[in-house]
Structure 1
Amino acid sequence: MMRQLVDTEPDEYIVAILDSLLRRTETSRFDLEAAAIGLSAKGRSLLSLVDDRADSGSESVVRVLLAQAGCAATPQVRIPFTDLDRIDLLVGDRLVIECDSEQHHGGREQRLRDLRRDAALACLGFIVLRFDWRQIFFEPASVVSAVLRYVELGLHRF
């Protein structure tokens, strides 16, 4: 299966699939490394990007695209001393990236909840960039460019 993935899919999709395998099945990192034996160097190098903390494919895709652009993003970060749930990705120590799916962010109530979270994060000094799954999968360059611009301006740091 891994050889077929490496031969047919973009790197960010491969990592998203492997992240999901680690998080949602009994597959271990050892299992992935064993399955990667015999892969090309590129295929084996993708294992360093796999992270079982990723909560969705869109998060994984954004994280990998940013890593390929030289920008590290940490998945599923908890904000200490708050009642806020985890944030999807954190770049630096204050740039929050939220990756929205239709299922969890598509309704009116869900949208209002997201806006309230964004306001609470802003009150704590965080900057929130929120991307829809359509942007992530169909306009990935614009997503990466937006994040990199904030990093260039130093806005990812307190």
Structure 2
Amino acid sequence: MSKKKARKIGVPGSRSDSGSESALAFRLRKLKLEFEQQVWIRDVGRVDILVGQSLVIELDSWQHHQADRKAYHRDRERDAVLIARGYTVVRLAYAHVFFDWQKYEALLRGYIKRRLHKRPVRAW
């Protein structure tokens, strides 16, 4: 990757697990959204990005799930627990972040406008 392109999308952060996560963090910062990366949520584990108190963004690659079907099912179980506790869960792929960002930026802006990131969550 060229230095110019790296500056445009953001360099990998120390809290990112992937290039997609680094790029998404960079884009969220440009939107001036408050978020944390690699947040531990009890009974779920670590989530990639938590916007506000209740909007979870997970970044997955096709290879990740293609190589491990158990991971695919485990992610759906995690989503079910998060949703039951009041979180909104958005799963994005590499292509969404790098090639179709305008569409997903609009989607995230809609969640923020509806204040889904501010909803209270329930502890179990």
Q: TM-score, normalised by structure 1?
A: 0.67
Cα distance change of structure 1 residues 149 and 9 upon mapping to structure 2, 3 Å threshold: same
Does the CA-based 8 Å contact 1:63-1:72 persist in structure 2?
A: no
Does the CA-based 8 Å contact 2:10-2:22 persist in structure 1?
A: no
Does the CA-based 8 Å contact 1:73-1:89 persist in structure 2?
A: yes
1:118 aligns with 2:107: no
2:61 aligned partner: 101
Bigger radius of gyration among the two: 1
SS in 1 for 2:58: strand
Q: Name the count of aligned residue pairs.
A: 117
1:153 aligned partner: 114
Give the ranges of 4+ consecutive aligned residues of structure 1 lying more than 2 Å apart after TM superposition: 10-14, 102-110
Cα distance change of structure 1 residues 124 and 15 upon mapping to structure 2, 3 Å threshold: same
More helix by share: 1
Q: Distance in 1 between matches of 2:80 and 2:53?
A: 17
More strand by share: 2
2:9 aligned partner: 13
Query: 1:67: Cα distance to partner?
Result: 1.1
User: What do you get for the CA RMSD once the two structures are aligned?
Assistant: 1.7
Residue segments in structure 1 that go unaligned for 5+ positions in a row: 20-51
More contact order relative to length (CA 8 Å, sep ≥ 6):
2
Residue segments in structure 2 that go unaligned for 5+ positions in a row: none
Query: 1:14: Cα distance to partner?
Result: 3.6
Per-residue CA deviations over 1:75-125 (Å, capped at 9, x if unaligned) read 10011xx23220000000000000111232335332211111100111111
1:136 aligns with 2:97: yes
Query: 1:10: Cα distance to partner?
Result: 4.7
1:33 aligned partner: none
Q: Identity rate of aligned residues, in percent?
A: 36
1:88 aligned partner: 48
Q: Distance in 2 between matches of 1:96 and 1:142?
A: 18
Q: TM-score, normalised by structure 2?
A: 0.83
Q: Distance in 2 between matches of 1:125 and 1:12?
A: 34
Does the CA-based 8 Å contact 1:105-1:114 persist in structure 2?
A: no
